[in-house]
Amino acid sequence: MSIPYRHAGKIPLNQQAKPPVARDLGHCDAVLLILPETADKHVWSALPHGEFLAERARQRRAAAGTTRDWATELPNPRGTRVQAVYVKPGQSTFDQLSAARGWAKQLLDWKPARVGVYTAPGTAASALLEAAVLALLAASCPLPNRKSAAEPTCPLARIDCYGATEPLRFELLRAQVQGNHLARWLTQLPGNELRPGDYRKLATALAKQHGWQVEFLDRKSLSRRKAGAFLAVTQASHVDDGGLLRLSYRPKGRAAKPKLALVGKGICFDTGGVNLKSAKSMHGMHEDMEGSAVALGTLLALSLLKVDFAVDCWLALAENHIGPQGYKPNDVVTACNGTSIEIVHTDAEGRMVLADALALASREKPTLIIDYATLTGACVYALSTRYSGVFGNRDALLVILTEAGKHSGERVWPFPMDADFDAALKSDIADIKQCTLDSEADHILAARFLNRFVPQNIAWLHVDLSAGNHKGGLAHIPSDVTGFGVGLTVCALLEHGLLNAARDN
């Protein structure tokens, strides 16, 4: 099975400083005009067919009584389709990307091969151009489809950008889209096509393409390391394919830099175990591996950008099955760092596999660990699926991650991690309870549980992926599965200095 994540990397992107000329628009199948609300004659005079477009704008404004988006067709041999949109000043990155998602849908519904995007003076030109490019590329990425009648593929083959006030970051945009595409593609695969063994093969094939080092800790290896928390979840699996997959990127010919560890929950299907989920709750549980897909997509994006620091990516691959050997409430197991855990609810399996994954990742002494997991319903109840929750053991890093969320359009909100929450996880028989049977603050209790498996001398961030699936898409992403976290992490690391801050705090 091949992964088509390279699709976005094959579409040529071109930046032109000057406004387009008639020849440029004549070569385009579709054009997006991004205009200020107060577009005047100077805006139209800078464009080919300016008088024609100005007249269309006047007619639409007269018909609507106000300035509204409109579409038309140019009087040129190609019949170039034009979508004109108006933007308000001071929009947030999220609002820009959300608007761009709608623009991309309108343009791609016309099935264009070549698209031109023009931002007029008076707009946040470069930011809006980048938003449009991200949205067009994201919408053109194919996702798994098993319908007998194949849906037509997106013909987009070129994007030309006009009006930028500074160089556009095409390399960064491409890497981000490809990493996000990989995360979405993996997450949307049916559960019978992405079991832990299948996942390992796909990830290993990617490692060969990108020169990553590969290490796989199967159940025997995990048993030798006394990873009882991880192994408890895999007890009911009749196929011995679960384990911890470590993929390592190392920059070539560069001095050692701070090391980043990415850890992802990769539960390829979650029945809930002995505490079986209801049918409604179990539907969609093939997506319970999205945390691992985001970790892997982030590794891909950073590799494509050839970052100058080392990255380890730990994928906790397993399924939470039911069966006579399944782990049970009131069992006591011991994680590889020696912490004994009283099992309370077998559907809290994500924090179990992450416990050993975090402890083993910590043994490599990274500067920063970031873990991603579709972990708790409580975080969704608190934030909806518009934001994701973040937790950590360094307040300064939470501030940076929150700012990166605003700048990337992948918004996050920090939650408290005070030690007095631990009282709820006090066990009479073990070092800690896995969870409680109350619904109170489970997202915070889960983070406090995970905190036990990361030494305090290692900076750690936990992302509870509430926004991993949002109906209708989120920001520039058009699919319900969002791949949330790739753009956030890339922005935090490369634009906000997250790794260096972790080293200094």
Q: What's the rounded Cα separation, in Å, for the pair 462 and 376?
A: 12
Cα 125 to Cα 29, 89, 122, 162, distances in angstroms: 22, 11, 8, 9
From the candidates 56, 200, 351, 433, give the one annotated as an active-site residue: 351
Distance from C-alpha of 296 to C-alpha of 201, rounded to nearest angstrom: 13
- Candidates 6, 61, 257, 277; catalytic one: 277
Q: Which residues contact 154 (CB under 8 A, 6 or more apart)?
A: 108, 111, 139, 140, 142
Buried residues in 410-449 as b, exposed as e (16+ CB within 10 A): bbbbbbebeeebeebbeeeebbbbbbeeeeebbbbbbbbb
Query: What phi, psi does 415 have (nearest 5°)?
Result: -115, 160
**Considering Cα of 34, then 11, then 493, then 300, what sign does the dihedral take?**
positive
- Specify whether the CB–CB gap between 244 and 357 falls below 8 A: yes
Asked about 386 being catalytic, the answer comes back as no
Is 41 among the catalytic positions? no
| Per-residue tokens: 7 | 């699709």
Place of tokens 């990742």: 361
Instruction: Quote the CA–CA distance of 112 and 56 in Å, as a whole number.
Output: 22
Q: Please, are residues 130 and 46 in contact by the beta-carbon 8 Å criterion?
A: no
Beta-strand ranges (E) seen in 74-188 are: 81-87, 114-119, 158-162
Catalytic residue numbers? Answer: 277, 351
